[in-house]
Amino acid sequence: GQQVMQIPQYQHVQEGEDFTTYCNSSTTLSNIQWYKQRPGGHPVFLIQLVKSGEVKKQKRLTFQFGEAKKNSSLHITATQTTDVGTYFCAENSGYSTLTFGKGTMLLVSP
Amino acid sequence: DTEVTQTPKHLVMGMTNKKSLKCEQHMGHRAMYWYKQKAKKPPELMFVYSYEKLSINESVPSRFSPECPNSSLLNLHLHALQPEDSALYLCASSSGQGASNEKLFFGSGTQLSVL
């Protein structure tokens, strides 16, 4: 599968601050999925974006898919300690192949 | 809570041991996966079973041997592992329709240590 680059690798914020992680690809993505993995846990599916320019919200989380379908972002408003974990973007290119970005580890201090 | 169950949760084995990891799902999914995850790294695909047939093997060494006895079960047989094989082994499942919009359900994983 193609590479999806994810930045930043790590971010430490104070509770209440916002957080954004970005995924970029040099080629057009068929779709982008986002997963969250808590420390010591397993990846949990958050959302999938398919359409160009798509924006989806889940409470304080906002997911965007770029117009060219080459980038995506996850924005968390007013972080809470429960947001701690590693957020992965991943492309599902079909034929059961999911390619993960390297992930962004989020730490939230109370 | 995950609907994919993995056992054991932790496993310590010597390099000459033979052990098996087990995975079970009852969601009617027809695709099942094994992923390997090293600390602070993303999951890496090892094997994919689709309708109980091995469809993808990502050039995994033969000391890892997958088995899919039926549509609900997936095993990973381990033999003569190396210390660098120590990792979290994640099982996952999806509906198995082959479409690009399938989401994966992961189990809690088996944390494997090879001594």
pLDDT at B1 over 50: no
Q: Does B111 touch chain A (CB under 8 A)?
A: no
Instruction: Give which of B49, B100, B102, B108 to mutate to test A binding, by max A Cβ within 10 Å.
Output: B100
Residue A35 is which amino acid?
A: Y
Q: What residue of B is the nearest CA neighbor of A93?
A: B100
Residues of A in contact with B105 (CB under 8 A): 45
Q: Residue A73: what pLDDT?
A: 98
Distance from CA of residue B99 to its chain's centroid?
21
**pLDDT value for A16:** 98
Q: What is the pLDDT of residue B2?
A: 55
Say if A8 is an interface residue toward chain B (CB within 8 Å). Answer: no
Interchain contact A52–B (C-beta under 8 A): no
* pLDDT for position B74: 97
Residue B70 amino acid letter: N
pLDDT at B97: 67
> Over 90: is that where the pLDDT of A1 sits?
no
- Cα distance between residue B11 and residue B6, in whole Å: 12
CA A2 to chain centre: 17
CA distance B113 to B115: 6
Min Cα distance A61 → chain B (Å) is 19
| Closest chain B CA to residue A94 | B100
Q: What's the pLDDT tens digit per position in B7-40? A: 999 999 999 999 999 999 999 999 999 999 999 9
Residues of B in contact with A93 (CB under 8 A): 100
**Within an 8 Å CB–CB cutoff, is residue A31 touching chain B?**
yes
Query: B35-80 pLDDT, tens per residue?
Result: 999 999 999 999 999 999 998 888 899 999 999 999 999 999 999 9
Q: Are B94 and A96 in contact (CB < 8 Å)? A: yes
In this complex, is the C-beta atom of B66 within 8 Å of any C-beta atom belonging to chain A?
A: no
Work out the pLDDT band at A92, boundaries 50, 70, 90.
Answer: confident
Question: With 0-12 CB in 10 A as exposed, 13-18 as middle and 19+ as buried, what is B105?
Answer: buried
Model confidence at B100: pLDDT above 70: no
Half-sphere exposure of A70 (CA within 13 A, CB side): 5
Evaluate whether B113 touches B13 at the Cβ level (below 8 Å): yes
